[in-house]
Chains A and B, each alone.
Chain A
Amino acid sequence: MIEVKNVYKVFGANEKLALKMAIDGSNKKEILLKSGCTVGLRDVSFSVASSEIFVIMGLSGSGKSTLVRHFNRLIEPSAGAIEIDGENILNLSNSQLTQLHRKKISMVFQSFGLLPHWSVVDNVAYGLYIQGYKKAVAHEKALPWLEAVGLEAYAHQYPDELSGGMRQRVGLARALAVDTDIVLMDEAFSALDPLIRCEMQDLLLTLQAKLKKTIVFITHDIEEAVKLSERIAILHDGELIQVDTPEQMISNPANSYVEQFFKKYRNGN
């Protein structure tokens, strides 16, 4: 279980002043003018339950990619707390953080982040190598995951020999191979064309039915959000607008922004 408590993030040199202004409720423009800092996230609080697919949705610039990077501290918050299974990860020492990265949280990236000079199976085994597994063992552990995403035939190809969808299958297998409880997916399918994206969503749902991971999925696509999620968080300009099930959001939108989103969705279907 992940709990996000009053997280603020401001980017810029004069972080202290900007943070104070953000907490006091000044708007983005004022803060930028006075301190030269941009507000990435403002007072974001919510919790993600174990074994659910939780979608964070927002348009570009809404702070969703920033937010997801707080969960494994690729970005440090300016204020607030992030608790995983009751422990505030901001208090972790460097070596504890490394353990968190290795054992607890893995991540799938929008443009895959694969190593171009490593073969597919080595890429899937990447996290295992980092944990110190020898090649033979790492391959043995990685291969079932390669099969799970349907790429066992491509084990010895290189990423640039695969299509975008296949590359992201490698990215997904890599994240699953380290067997973490939590998987973060940052716009994981956004770079793929619609048909492939749909296939990948189905694959993710099939795998999730067996694996029951806690998945935090970032997207800007409302259809994707509704298809995958049990609950959705809508982020706008760094602020959390509403956290709810898709049905609740349709029948009970928090404001017109959310309503707009779902209107488009219903028109689209």
Chain B
Amino acid sequence: MTVNIFVPMEFSSSLNEWINSVVETHGNFLHSVSAVLLKNLLLPIEKLFTGSPPFLIISLIGLIAFLGSRKWMLSIGFMLSIYFIGCLGLWEKTMQTLALMGSSLILTIVIGIPIGILMASNKQVSKIATPILDVMQTFPLFVYMLPAVMLFSIGKVPAVMATVIYSIPPLIRLTELGIREVNHEIQEAAKSFGASYWQLLRWVNLPLARPAIMTGINQATMMALAMTVVASMIGANGLGEDILGGLTNLDFGKGAAAGVAVVILAIVIDRITQSFGQSARAKRTRVMGAAGGQK
């Protein structure tokens, strides 16, 4: 006979009840949050991406890539890869994915960087927030989607919510780390001349933490892309739909095509955001070096 040493405990039903009561009591509020997000962020951005002519978007990507990297060949390569996605017949869905990712990224940056700044300047906040971030980062991808669906039902809004929660921790962490690691004497110098908190932030901490923050944005972008694909399960449109469809209908070809598109998107976005992490000064020196070296 086996002895059951486990005291039975169960919290799933009480959690469900709690979420249900939240939905019941704050349903209107959640609904209006959802509506505001849709109307002011998600739909305009989606319209921007899907409504613009493809050649415009492709040239824009090339331009941004060039501004970041200052490399002609690389930028043209990126434009060709994006064009190739269009050739696969996945243009519309790619734009939907990009729109969803872009909306999430905007929210992530707007929320994440200030939290990171706050954590860097206040040890107490850092102590409280760090374990929360740990939990957020170790949760499996799918767990994020449940509460998002329960609170906002199915569609783009819960997809964006889940994406933001999933992709925000690295940005917050790297912002905090970047500011904390700003050279101590440069900070001391700023204080010794009587810099205010905002002057210190604007002239010293943010610019010097920029490489770390840009790495954070790069990480957040990649994670957001991954999540927007998975979020097709809760009603997000875009490339994820094809992958999910491919999986459920055993249509490997369809899934693979969308998969290739996701990989291309990932590489292009990764390289572009990384290139913006380099400071303008570093690029200038590189150009000077290439031009024969003044120094």
Tell whether, in the assembled complex, residue B188 and residue A109 are in contact, meaning their CB atoms are under 8 Å apart: yes
Q: How many residues of A contact B (CB 8 A)?
A: 31
Given contacts A107-B189, A111-B185, contact A117 B281 (CB under 8 A): yes
Tell whether, in the assembled complex, residue A178 and residue B185 are in contact, meaning their CB atoms are under 8 Å apart: no
Contacts of A99 in B (CB 8 A): 194
Tell whether, in the assembled complex, residue B185 and residue A126 are in contact, meaning their CB atoms are under 8 Å apart: no
Contacts of B279 in A (CB 8 A): 117
Contacts of B193 in A (CB 8 A): 101-102, 106-107, 126-127, 130, 174, 178
**Closest residue of chain B to A75, judged by CB?**
B188
Contacts of A126 in B (CB 8 A): 189, 193
Mark interface residues in B264-295 (1 if CB within 8 Å of A CB, else 0).
00000000000000010100010000000001
User: A93-142: which residues lie under 8 A (CB-CB) from chain B?
Assistant: 98-102, 105-107, 109-118, 126-127, 129-131
Q: How far is the CB of B169 from chain A (nearest CB, A)?
A: 28
Q: Does B107 contact A (CB under 8 A)?
A: no
Q: In whole angstroms, how far apart are the Cα atoms of A72 and B185 in the complex?
A: 14
Q: Which of B14-22, B30-38, B201-209, B229-237 is the interface stretch? A: B201-209
Contacts of A11 in B (CB 8 A): none
Q: Does B196 contact A (CB under 8 A)?
A: yes
Tell whether, in the assembled complex, residue A130 and residue B281 are in contact, meaning their CB atoms are under 8 Å apart: no
Q: How far is the CB of B28 from chain A (nearest CB, A)?
A: 44
Contacts of B195 in A (CB 8 A): 130
Q: Does A261 contact B (CB under 8 A)?
A: no
Q: How far is the CB of A184 from chain B (nearest CB, A)?
A: 8
Tell whether, in the assembled complex, residue B281 and residue A131 are in contact, meaning their CB atoms are under 8 Å apart: no
Tell whether, in the assembled complex, residue A74 and residue B191 are in contact, meaning their CB atoms are under 8 Å apart: yes
Q: How far is the CB of B264 from chain A (nearest CB, A)?
A: 34
Q: In whole angstroms, how far apart are the Cα atoms of A131 and B285 in the complex?
A: 31
Q: How far is the CB of B200 from chain A (nearest CB, A)?
A: 9
Tell whether, in the assembled complex, residue B208 and residue A116 are in contact, meaning their CB atoms are under 8 Å apart: yes
Which of B188, B196, B285, B295 interacts with A74 by CB under 8 Å? B188
Tell whether, in the assembled complex, residue A113 and residue B189 are in contact, meaning their CB atoms are under 8 Å apart: yes
User: A54-99: which residues lie under 8 A (CB-CB) from chain B?
Assistant: 72, 74, 98-99
Q: How far is the CB of B228 from chain A (nearest CB, A)?
A: 34
Tell whether, in the assembled complex, residue A117 and residue B208 are in contact, meaning their CB atoms are under 8 Å apart: yes
Contacts of B189 in A (CB 8 A): 107, 109, 113-114, 126
Q: Does B199 contact A (CB under 8 A)?
A: yes
Q: Does A46 contact B (CB under 8 A)?
A: no
Q: Does B192 contact A (CB under 8 A)?
A: yes
Given contacts A109-B185, A110-B185, A161-B295, contact A115 B192 (CB under 8 A): no
17 new A-B contacts, CB < 8 A, other than A117-B207, A130-B194, are A74-B192, A98-B194, A101-B192, A106-B192, A107-B193, A109-B188, A113-B183, A113-B185, A113-B186, A113-B189, A114-B186, A115-B204, A115-B208, A126-B189, A127-B193, A160-B285, A184-B192
